[in-house]
Amino acid sequence: MNDQQLLRYSRQIMLPQVDIAGQQKLLAAKILIVGAGGLGSPAAMYLAAAGVGQITIYDDDQVDLTNLQRQIAHGTTDIGLDKVISTLNTLKNINPDIRVLPHKARLQNELLAREVAAADVVLDCSDNFSTRFAINRACVTRGTPLVSGAAIRFEGQISVFTPGTHSSPCYNCLYQSEGEELQNCARNGVIAPITGIVGSIQALEALKVIMGIGETLTGRLLILDGLSMEWQTLRLKKNPACPTCGTA
């Protein structure tokens, strides 16, 4: 690291859990973010600020006026712009030293497999179940840690799935793969700060995974009720009969 980097990241380098070694791990890391919306915006911004060396972002949508209530990587002047380009501009303004790879595309099939294999950590910031299950399958196949988040109405959920580690369950152990496609923000609404809270926690969990510090949410589901401001933690177990990661 040069002097400018030491100064930029000084407040986290002084943490004994991070130190120089942890910061170097972040600078060398490659993170894949699927979705540049309500969750992907704060997650990407905090990862960029923390100095993650390469952030790859996939989203096939453009910025719309209805996005601006919660998708904080985009502004009014970005309306009509590809979300990945708007996010690129925001991240480079935060930290011009990192590498940002924007892709306006739906990440699926062989492309999904290649990107997951190339990443150190994957953040699922998507808003539909078919994408979530596809990402989960790719992460299980490639053995790539997955940080999953969801936000709807006043509710948020976050978990970490680390295939092959600590008998970790996968996303499919927790959720069935059909019948819930209508559960999204466009149909049910969401209060803006919930997406910020969930996305920020996803960024924190990704940093912990990369640096190998603390205790991640592997094997746990963190649930937030924003109306009562109560948190719950559910312990998750691997399902031997899971169609994605099961051994039964």
- Confirm whether 31 is domain-assigned: yes
When pLDDT is averaged across residues 62-69 and rounded to a whole number, the result is 96
Question: How far apart are the C-alpha atoms of 131 and 19, rounded to whole Å?
Answer: 36
Q: Is the pLDDT of residue 178 over 60?
A: no
Q: Is the pLDDT of residue 166 over 80?
A: no
Domain enclosing residue 86, as ranges: 3-235
Q: Cα–Cα distances in Å, from 162 out to 143, 214, 220, 236?
A: 7, 15, 11, 12
Q: Is the pLDDT of residue 24 over 90?
A: yes
Q: Note the pLDDT of residue 142.
A: 94
Q: Catalytic annotation on 185?
A: yes
- Confirm whether 242 is domain-assigned: no
- More confident of the two residues 108 and 33: 33
Mean pLDDT lowest among 6-20, 50-64, 92-106, 166-180: 166-180
Q: Note the pLDDT of residue 35.
A: 96
For the chain, give the secondary structure using H, E and C: CCHHHHHHCHHHHCCCCCHHHHHHHHHHCEEEEECCCCCHHHHHHHHHHHCCCEEEEECCCECCHHHCCCCCCCCHHHCCCEHHHHHHHHHHHHCCCCEEEEECCCCCHHHHHHHHHHCCEEEECCCCHHHHHHHHHHHHHHCCCEEEEEEEECEEEEEEECCCCCCCCCHHHHCCCCCCCCCCHHHHCECHHHHHHHHHHHHHHHHHHHHCCCCCCECEEEEEECCCCEEEEEECCCCCCCCCCCCC
- pLDDT class of 185 with cuts at 50, 70, 90: low
Q: Tens of pLDDT along 124-134?
A: 999 888 899 99
Structure tokens at 211: 């640096």
Q: Is the pLDDT of residue 248 over 70?
A: no
pLDDT-above-70 percentage for the chain: 95
Set 139, 170, 185, 245: catalytic member: 185
pTM of the model: 0.94
- Confirm whether 57 is domain-assigned: yes
- Confirm whether 246 is domain-assigned: no
Q: Tens of pLDDT along 76-135?
A: 999 999 999 999 999 999 999 999 999 999 998 999 999 999 999 999 999 888 899 999
Q: Give me the number of domains the chain comprises.
A: 1
Q: For position 119, which CATH number holds? A: 3.40.50.720
- Confirm whether 79 is domain-assigned: yes
- Confirm whether 240 is domain-assigned: no
Q: Note the pLDDT of residue 128.
A: 87
- Confirm whether 247 is domain-assigned: no
